[in-house]
Amino acid sequence: MMNDKTMHCARWHVLPFIILLCAVCHVSFSPAGAQTLTFVELNCENLFDTRHDSLKQDTEFAPDGVRRWTTSNYWRKLKHIGQEILSCSAQLPDIVALVEVENDSVLHALLRRSVLRQAGYQYLMTESPDVRGLDVALVYQPYAFRPICYEAIGVAPLPGMRPTRDVLYVKGRCLSGDTLHMFVVHAPSRYGGERATRPNRMQVMHTLLAYMQTLPQNAKVIVAGDFNDYADSPSVRLLCRNGLQNVTKTAVGTHGAKGTYRYQGKWQSIDHVLVSPGLASQVDSVYINDAPFLLEDDPRYGGKRPRRTFQGYRYQRGFSDHLPLVVRFRW
């Protein structure tokens, strides 16, 4: 009998010929004629639908919940996340790692009923034991990336640690013929204090590194997501000590953003994209998408901040409290 991982691999081993034919018509080239691949990471800030899941603590995102999360708010949110993704590059991003997405129906609505409905995106996602019901996903263009197999990697909780999000692993092949091994991460938050919660985030990284030990030598690896830690934090440094390079460590935007997140007037980056050395040499450009419509004035601290959906419990009609990270690879 095949195990879960084997079944996932079998499901995606062969794609219809029409997808391969479409690939010939959609190859992206750099000015030098080299093939490129655009990768985006985005924390969507609570992309919930309006229905209550009786197995999850999601009642605050219901029409009668504390956030008064109505159907019109939900569809506006889907439109905004779609616009945010589309604005990341001149051409459609090839692969998008999404964090804070509630379930499969939300992903389906985002890709089939929002401004992305004509983009042709497909997706894979986890179904984690996170108590609020939040998960991670990988969205991809079938002509640019062909999944071979995928797996949700569970993180065993430490004593006193709430169940957290699975790590999504996807193996696939891009148009250049390169095989990519991608991991989407949403590490536990710092709620309760950074030092007290540090072991929880380290547990995720140890789980990730243990899985990476099973990959072929010199595998081309991308690890992306919301780490709830900075580039110099122990969890991110652990990955770097084990061969990964944080290619977004110094990423900035073109409209003033010096991080993906702003807290008490200070730009910070808790979102990261780390890659193996073989991929680091193929990075063409890295930046934060801080398009003006994704920003708003910060009345308390001055300057700009991400135009988020909620400020506390006050609905802001915005996009996300995180800005997207964009990494362009060139072959």
Q: In terms of residues, how long is the chain?
A: 331
Residue 79: pLDDT above 70? yes
- Phi and psi, residue 121, nearest 5°: -70, 150
- Residue pLDDT, tens place only, 280-298: 999 999 999 999 999 999 9
47-58 burial string, b = 16+ CB within 10 Å, else e? Answer: bbbbebeeebeb
Confidence of residue 33 (pLDDT cuts 50, 70, 90): low
- Phi and psi, residue 104, nearest 5°: -60, -40
- Residue pLDDT, tens place only, 201-237: 999 999 999 999 999 999 999 999 999 999 999 999 9
H or E segment to which residue 75 belongs? helix 71-86
Could you tell me how far CA 251 lies from the centroid of its own chain?
16
Contact assessment for residue 152 and residue 164, using Cβ atoms and an 8 Å cutoff: no
- Residue pLDDT, tens place only, 90-122: 999 999 999 999 999 999 999 999 999 999 999
Q: Half-sphere exposure of residue 158, counting CA atoms within 13 Å on the CB side?
A: 12
Residue 238: pLDDT above 60? yes
- Residue pLDDT, tens place only, 41-78: 999 999 999 999 999 999 999 999 999 999 999 999 99
Please give the Cα distance from 101 to 116 (Å, whole number): 16
pTM equals 0.91
Please give the Cα distance from 57 to 61 (Å, whole number): 9
251 token code pair: 């990423």
